[in-house]
C-alpha cells in the first residue's frame, strides 16, 4: 500500500519533471498539443487493446 502511495508521489513528480523538461528544451509550445493528443490516446487506451506490430516496439 505504501509502495503504491510512494509510486504515485513519484509519478506526480515525474509529470512536474516532464513539464520542466519541455520548458528547458524549449518545446513548451508542445504542451497543449500533447495534452490534447494524450487525452485522445487515453480514451483509446480505455476503449481498445493494442496488438503491437513488429516495428513499433523497437522505435517507440
Partner 1 sequence: MNILGISCFFHDAAAALVQDGIVTAAAEEERFSRIKHDASFPIRAIEFCLRTAKLRAEDLDWVVFYEKPFVKFDRILMSTLATHPRSFRVFRESMIKWLAEKLWVKGLIRKRVGIPQERILFSSHHLSHAASAFYCSPFSEAAILTVDGVGEWATATFGVGRDRNIELLGEIRFPHSLGMLYSVFTAFLGFEVNEGEYKVMGMAPYGTPKYADDVRKLLRLHDDGSFSLDMDYFAYHYSPDTAFNGKFEHLFGAPRDPKSHFFTESSGYPAYFGDKPANYKELCRLNQHYADIAASIQLVTEETLLAMARALHVKTGLPRLCMAGGVALNSVANGRILRETPFKELYVQPAAGDGGGAIGAALYAYHAVLGNPRNYVMEHAYLGEEHSEADIKSFLDANGIRHEYVEDDDRLIERVVDALMQGRVVGWSQGRFEWGPRALGNRSILADPRRADMKDIVNTKIKFREPYRPFAPSVLAERAEEYYDLKSPERHYPARFMLLVVPVKESKRQVVPAPTHVDGTGRLQTVFKKTNPRYHRLIETFDKATGVPVVLNTSFNLKGEPIVNTPAEAFSTFSKSGMDMLVLDHFIVEKENS
Residue 41 makes contact with partner 1 by CB under 8 A: yes
For residue 35, state whether it binds partner 1 (rule: CB under 8 A).
no
With CB under 8 A as the rule, give the number of residues binding partner 1. 34
C-alpha dihedral, 56 to 60 to 34 to 17, nearest 10°? 160
Residue numbers at the binding site for partner 1 (CB under 8 A): 3-4, 6-8, 10-11, 13-14, 17-18, 21, 25, 27, 30, 33-34, 37-38, 40-42, 44-45, 50, 52-60
Amino acid at each position: 500500500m505504501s509502495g503504491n502511495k510512494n509510486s504515485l508521489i513519484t509519478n506526480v513528480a515525474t509529470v512536474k519533471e516532464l513539464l520542466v523538461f519541455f520548458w528547458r528544451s524549449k518545446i513548451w509550445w508542445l504542451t497543449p498539443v500533447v495534452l490534447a493528443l494524450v487525452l485522445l490516446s487515453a480514451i483509446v487506451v480505455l476503449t481498445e487493446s493494442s496488438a503491437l506490430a513488429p516495428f513499433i516496439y523497437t522505435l517507440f
